[in-house]
Amino acid sequence: MLEIKNLHVKLADEDRVILNGLTLSVKAGEVHAIMGPNGSGKSTLSYVLSGREGYEVTEGSVTYKGEDLLAMTPSDRAARGVFLAFQYPIEIPGVATMQFLKVALNSQRKARGEKEMTTPDFMRLVKERAAKLNIGPEMLKRPVNVGFSGGEKKRAEILQMAVLEPALCVLDETDSGLDIDAMRVVADGVNSLRSPDRAMIVITHYQRLLDYIVPDHVHVLSRGRIVKSGGKSLALELEAKGYAEFESEAA
Amino acid sequence: MVVQKTVAELNYGLSLPHRKMEDWRWTDLRQLVDKPYPPRQTVVAAPKDVERLLKSSPFAKVAGSRLVFVNGHLSLENSETGLVQQSKGKILGVATQISTDEPVITMNAAFATDGARLKISGTTDTPIELLFLATNADARTIATRNVIEIEKGAAATLIETHLGEGTYLSNSVTEIRVGEGARLDRIKVELEAADAIHLAHTHTTLGKNTVFNDFTLTSGAKTNRQNGTVEFKGQGTEARVSGAYMLGGKQHADTRLLIDHQVPHCTSREIFKCVMDDNARGIFQGKVIVQRDAQKTDGKQSSHALLLSETAEFDAKPELEIFADDVVCGHGATSGDLNHDHLFYLMSRGIPPAEAKSLLIATFVGEAFDLIAHEGIKEALVKFSNKWLSQHRRAS
C-alpha cells in the first residue's frame, strides 16, 4: 500500500534536515509502530505523508497504491484514503463539527466520483460511530475541537477516522495527554477499524499504547531514519532500555 | 494655500471633504468624486429595469412591507405599504436637528429629493424595508433623507437596501430616534452598482432603556463612505453596531463611527468583520466618547480584517475619549490572512483548497451575521455571502 524509499526531507525555509534516508514498506492489513525519541522526525513523517506545507523533499519517493503520493494535494490524498490523526488537533472556531464532517465526507465522495451522502444517512452514521467512542451529541454541536479536553480531541480524531473510513491511517502520538481509561477508549476505536484492506502507522514515544494497539511491526526512528525493525517485542525492549543505544548508533 | 475647486464644487457650490481633514484622511472626496454628478435630475426609469433591480434584492421574500425609492423618489406602485404609514413625496431634508458640519449631511440637505418618514408604534416581527434603487442613466447625484421614529415601548425591524445600475453618487442620510423602552433592529445592505459612489450618514439618538441593534453589510459601490453617530440620551440602554465588508476589485469602503455616551449605565458594542480581496481597501474608524456624567459605561469595539490577497489593504483607527472615571472600555483590531493551520486541517480531511477557504471566510463574516436576530434576514445574508464567495473563489 505504501512504499517510502530513501526519503530525505528538510524544512522549507531552513537548512535543517529532518528525515535522512527513511525507507518503509507497509502492506494492507498491517499495523506498523514507529517509535523514537523526541526530534527523531516522527511528526515530520506524518506531516510529509499528509502534505503539510513547510517541508521540502530533497530525495527519495513515497508511493501510495502505486501512485506518487508527494505529487498529490492534501485533499486528494485524503480522498484517496490517507488520514492523519493529529498529535495536536486544530481548533476551528465557528465551524460546527457536524458541518465539517459532512463537508469532508462528501468532498471525498465527490472526488472519488461517488454520490454524496444524504443528511439523514450521514446523521445516522455519525451517531452510530460516535456512540462507540463515548461522544455525545453536545460535543458534536460544538465548533471543531473548540473547548474540547485533550482526551475529547483525540476521540474526535478517531471519530473522524471512523466516519471517513480511510485506507491508510497515520496516528501521530495519539496517546499523548491521555489517561489510561481514555487511552483504552481510543485504542478500542482504532482496533475496531483494523481490517485486511486497511493499514495503520502508529507513531508513539511510549510503549504503553502498543499494549492496546498491538502492532505487526515495530520500527525505531532515530535522526531521520529507521535504525532497527522487529516484531512487537522490540517495543518492550525499548521500554526497558530507552533510546540511548540508537541515538549513539546513528551518530 | 489655494486649493483648486473640483468640477462638482464649482458647479454646485459644494465643499468636498479631503485628506487634510482628519476624519477623511483615507477618503479624499476631492479625488474620488471624479465627475460633477449634478443633483435633482429627473430620470424616468423603465419598468423592466426597476423589476430587475427589485428581484436582485436579497430581501425580496423577507420584508413584510416595503417602500421603494426609484432614482430618489418614492415609487408607490412598487411599494407595499401594508404596515407603513408614510408621508409620500415630502422632502424632509431641511427639517432636521442634526448638525450640518458633516459634509455628507450638508450635501444631502442641499440635494435631497425625497425619503421615508416613519413613526413606528407597537410591536412587529415583520421587517419593514426601505429600498433605494438607481437605474442606469447619466452620472448624477441621488440624495434621500429618512427620519425614523420608534415610539415609546415599540419594537421594529427595519431593512435599508441600496441597489443600482450605472454611474451615480448616492447620498443617504437617516435620522433615527428610539424612544423610551423601545427596540430597533436595523439592517442596512449597501449593494450599489460597481461604478457608484455611496455616501451615507446615520444619526441615532437612544432614549432610556432602549435596545438598538445595527448591522451594515458593505459590498457594493466603487467608493463607499458611511458615517454613523449614536448618542446615548437615556440610562440603561444597549447598542450594538456591527458590520461586514465583502469587497473586491478596487473597491474602497470607509466607515466612521462615533459612539457618544452622555449618560450613565449604558452598554455599547461595535464589531466589524471585513473581508477584502484583490486591490480592495477597507477602513474602520471607530470612536467611543464617554462624557463626564456617563459613569458605569461599558463600551467595547473591535474590527477584524481578513485579507485574501497581498494587495488588499485594511486600516483601523480605534479611538477612546473617556472623561468619566468609573467605566469599562476597550478596543481591538486585527488584520491578516486565513489561518494556515485551519486550512491544512480542513484539506487533510479531503476538503479541496478553494472550498476550505470559502468555508473559513464564510465562518469569519458569519460571526457578524450571527448578531442579527431575524432568521430570514440572516439566511438572506448567508445566501448573499455564499454567492459573493463563489465569485471570489480560487485555490491558491
Q: Residue A150: pLDDT above 80?
A: yes
- On chain A, the residues whose CB falls within 8 A of the CB of B356 are 75
- List the grid coordinates of B174: 437617516
Q: Residue B92: pLDDT above 60?
A: no
pLDDT digits (tens, 9 = 90+) for B300-342: 999 999 999 999 999 999 999 999 999 999 999 999 999 999 9
Q: What is the pLDDT, as a whole number, of residue B299?
A: 96
Which one has a higher pLDDT value, B340 or A177?
B340
Give the mean pLDDT of B160-177.
96
Chain A positions contacting chain B at CB under 8 Å are 50-53, 73-75, 77-79, 83-84, 86, 89-90, 92-95, 100, 103-105, 107-108, 111, 144, 160, 164
Give the integer Cα–Cα distance in Å for A35 and A218.
Answer: 7
Counting one residue from chain A and one from chain B, the pairs whose CB atoms sit within 8 A come to 70
Cβ contact B363–A86 (<8 Å): no
What is the number of residues in chain B?
396
Instruction: Select from B342, B345, B360, B361 the residue whose CB has the most chain A CBs within 10 Å, as the one to mutate to test that interface.
Output: B345
Q: What is the pLDDT, as a whole number, of residue B95?
A: 44
Give the mean pLDDT of A52-76.
96
Q: Residue B194: pLDDT above 80?
A: yes
- Confidence band of B94 (pLDDT split at 50, 70, 90): very low
Of A50, A92, A94, the CB nearest to B348: A50
Cβ contact B350–A105 (<8 Å): yes
The position carrying cell 466603487 is B222
Label residues A62-83 b or e (16+ Cβ within 10 Å = b): bebeeeebbebebbbbbbbbbb
Of A53, A78, A86, the CB nearest to B350: A78
Kindly report the nearest CA distance between residue B237 and chain A, in angstroms.
29
Q: Residue B168: pLDDT above 80?
A: yes
Kindly report the nearest CA distance between residue B273 and chain A, in angstroms.
14
Q: What is the pLDDT, as a whole number, of residue B96?
A: 52
Q: What's the number of domains chain A is made of?
A: 1
Q: Residue B154: pLDDT above 90?
A: yes
- On chain A, the residues whose CB falls within 8 A of the CB of B353 are 73, 75
Q: Is A107 exposed, middle or buried (0-12, 13-18, 19+ CB in 10 A)?
A: buried
- On chain A, the residues whose CB falls within 8 A of the CB of B363 are 92-95
Sign of CA dihedral A12, A17, A20, A23: negative
Cβ contact B350–A104 (<8 Å): yes
Across chain A, mean pLDDT equals: 92
- On chain B, the residues whose CB falls within 8 A of the CB of A144 are 345
Kindly report the nearest CA distance between residue B310 and chain A, in angstroms.
19
Where do runs of H (alpha helix) occur along chain A? 42-50, 74-79, 97-111, 119-132, 137-141, 150-164, 180-192, 209-212, 233-241, 244-250
* Residue A118: CATH number of its domain: 3.40.50.300
Cβ contact A93–B363 (<8 Å): yes
- Confidence band of B1 (pLDDT split at 50, 70, 90): very low
Give the integer Cα–Cα distance in Å for B172 and B132.
Answer: 9
| Nearest alpha carbon to residue A88 among A137, A168, A157 | A157
Residues B307/B314, Cβ–Cβ less than 8 Å: yes
Q: Are strands B73-74 and B65-70 parallel, antiparallel or unpaired?
A: antiparallel
Q: How does DSSP classify residue B22?
A: G
Q: Residue B257: pLDDT above 50?
A: yes
Q: What is the pLDDT, as a whole number, of residue B102?
A: 84
> What is the ipTM, given to two decimal places?
0.95
Cβ contact A74–B360 (<8 Å): no
Which one has a higher pLDDT value, A50 or B84?
A50
Of A89, A93, A103, the CB nearest to B359: A103
Kind and range of the H or E element at B146? strand B141-150
Q: Is A143 exposed, middle or buried (0-12, 13-18, 19+ CB in 10 A)?
A: middle
- List the grid coordinates of A118: 444524504
Give the mean pLDDT of B179-192.
97
Q: What are residue B208's phi and psi, to 5 degrees?
A: -70, 140
Q: Residue B394: pLDDT above 80?
A: no
pLDDT digits (tens, 9 = 90+) for A199-251: 999 999 888 889 899 999 999 999 999 999 999 888 888 888 888 777 654 44
Give the integer Cα–Cα distance in Å for B60 and A36.
Answer: 62
Kindly report the nearest CA distance between residue A18 and chain B, in angstroms.
20
pLDDT digits (tens, 9 = 90+) for A71-82: 999 999 999 999
Cβ contact B352–A103 (<8 Å): no
Q: How does DSSP classify residue B263?
A: S
Domain, as residue range, for A46: 2-250
Cβ contact A73–B347 (<8 Å): yes
Kindly report the nearest CA distance between residue A246 and chain B, in angstroms.
32
Cβ contact B350–A79 (<8 Å): yes
Residues A144/A97, Cβ–Cβ less than 8 Å: yes
Q: What is the pLDDT, as a whole number, of residue B392?
A: 87
- On chain B, the residues whose CB falls within 8 A of the CB of A103 are 351, 355, 359
Cβ contact A53–B366 (<8 Å): no
- Confidence band of A177 (pLDDT split at 50, 70, 90): confident
Chain B positions contacting chain A at CB under 8 Å are 340-342, 344-353, 355-356, 359-360, 363-364, 366-367
Kindly report the nearest CA distance between residue B307 and chain A, in angstroms.
18
Kindly report the nearest CA distance between residue A90 and chain B, in angstroms.
7
Q: What is the pLDDT, as a whole number, of residue B141?
A: 94
**Three-state secondary structure call for residue B308:** coil
Give the mean pLDDT of B283-297.
96
Cβ contact A104–B353 (<8 Å): no
Kindly report the nearest CA distance between residue B345 and chain A, in angstroms.
7
Q: What is the pLDDT, as a whole number, of residue B99?
A: 62
Cβ contact B340–A53 (<8 Å): yes
Of A52, A89, A107, the CB nearest to B350: A107
